[in-house]
Structure 1
Amino acid sequence: MAAACYSLVLVTAAFYHPGLSQDMPPARLSIIPSSGQHFQEKQMSLHCEVKEWNSTGWTLKHLTRSGVQSGCLPAGGNMSKESPGLCEILHLHSRNSGVYWCESVGGDKRSNNINITVVDGSVIIQSPTEPVAEGDSLTLRCLYLWSQPNTTAFYKNGGKILAHSSTEVTLHNVTGADEGFYKCGDPDGDERSPDSWVAVRGHFALLPTSPRGLLSTMYTPTEGAIKPQMTSPTELSPSNSTTKAGSRLYVVVLCCILGVLPIILVLGLLACRNRSRMRCYYDSCCPVRGSRNECPKEEAPQTKPDVTEIQWDMAWMEMETETTLLGRKQESGH
């Protein structure tokens, strides 16, 4: 019984999540400069912003090819002393590519995610780091590390959509059809930016809410960009309804365990008791624990002489008698 109680305590502790007891407001991850692509050796800053709350209790997360890293230091950056929650990376490297987000200490709340690609080339495209709402405008900018060509071409999903003298293009009243991979570059040359994913809110799903779900993103082998593999319309920015739903789920699961566990214990005790009784019945009679009644002693059965043995003894006696009489007659004759 004590072991069962101890197991119940362990089960209860396993389902208790410390993050659920913290009433922390959601955080928002911002990036400076606001772009998903950055030149190598340039500077980038990531900031976990929390409205009316300091950033204490939030950790910067970074999804790389090797797994999930925590904190600013593994990314090669330093935390700002003037601005809490600000991670400054002075010299970007290809290892800084990946997905970034802010996560609470309990792990139950996460911010929006930003997909970063550090480019070891001469052309990048600046696109929104967050999904664009349907009906809004989408602005794309093409940045050149060295000289700027006379004409800049913009591509969507590998096909050219526009080419003109400006390095900036704006799409108005975007719809789900505008969602896809965009890149830019010199139409007459080979230098082009990597693909940058642009999502439209209300049309396509965002990245999953868990680090394991974020691992479903994959790197394109040619340019190192990350292509989201999205299967559910769940955003990283948690809402109150999501938190409440998670709390209800924990309560329901815990109640089910507390209701089923006593039944299992009772059935186990009954099974052990029946097994003990059956063992007593087949092996030897044993007194029930706590009872003074002892098993009755059985008397040895009284066996009767076998009839065959009696008949055999009578025949043997008759034979001896006849032999004795015969011997006496022979002696008298002599």
Structure 2
Amino acid sequence: MFTVHSEKRKENFYCSESDAKQTLKKSDGTYEIQWEKSYGKIPMWSARYEGPQPVGDADNDGKNELLIGGRDPFMRVIKWDESSQTYYEQAKIIDPVFGIGYPFALGSATGFAIADIDNDGLNEIGVAWGRHFSAFKWDGSHYKKMGMYAITKNRGWETTLDCAVGDVDNDGKNEVVVTGGYNDPSIPEVLVLSWDGGKFVKESEWNAPHEESIYFPWIADVDNDGKNEIICNTNETVVLNWNATSNSWEPTVVSTYEEKEIYPFGCVSKDSNGNGIPDIHVTFYAPELKIFEWNGTAYEEKWSHYWDSEEGTIEAIDVGDVDGDGIPEVCVGTNYVHILQWNGTTYVEEHVI
């Protein structure tokens, strides 16, 4: 799946594959594999991508790191080595917790982020492990666990799916948004946590109608009102606005999906058409991408495409300047990588990998 690496002028995108040594054919000689990680051939410990903020300066040395997670119990921190011009594993984080339903006390990294989680001016790593969320701070030699929050202790089908960090209630401080899917209706699909100086506490929550699973949340000002919103998907794309008077989330439905899309997974809200307002990019279990934009009074569908006979887009979506031309591209993956760019009127395909 994709994310933007901002350490260099030309941004990179990353593909996560469940099997080793997958070769991507170059359509025009421009793109090539820079680095890859093999997770072996055991499906239950395969690679996967869940995490809106997997690139950032995790150890606060002025250089970015990359987080990669799989279905194994490790959160890997990957760092660039200038001398050898390749990536290496800086750390392998594991967080066993007993008594909340994990087999062998171990979850897997269902979602992760690099951001200032405790609002001390330094970045930390946050990980949603399936039944709990925890955060880790670099102490100069390793990533030390600073705290955790148990989301469920049930032994049914209960799992976190992702997490994101940002100022969601516009109080000037970052919060952690943990999303998931739970059989227990008392567990909210959107949970907002904050660090109180010694532990994580629940600030707010939003329960999705019909107990839908929420995979990939985003935090951005998508309606251009100067305040952040939470953007997420159930069987609908929903924008959540915080109402400070009622201390509750007010949902606005952007779009409702039918059988063709099957289910929405990915959600990236970045400006891809250059107008200064983040657009909402949604990917699905089907091979489809939809892009929505705020028109001043409502959200409207700006562009969509269905790649017949290709695999689902799932969470293979990001926006960034991947070819160094100063203009952002939309990168979306099926069993191919489609690189799109806004030409002033519509999105056109620049490259296929």
- Report the TM-score when normalising by structure 2: 0.26
More strand, by proportion = 2
More helix, by proportion = 1
Higher relative contact order (CA 8 A, sep 6+): 1
Bigger Rg, structure 1 or 2: 1
- Report the TM-score when normalising by structure 1: 0.27
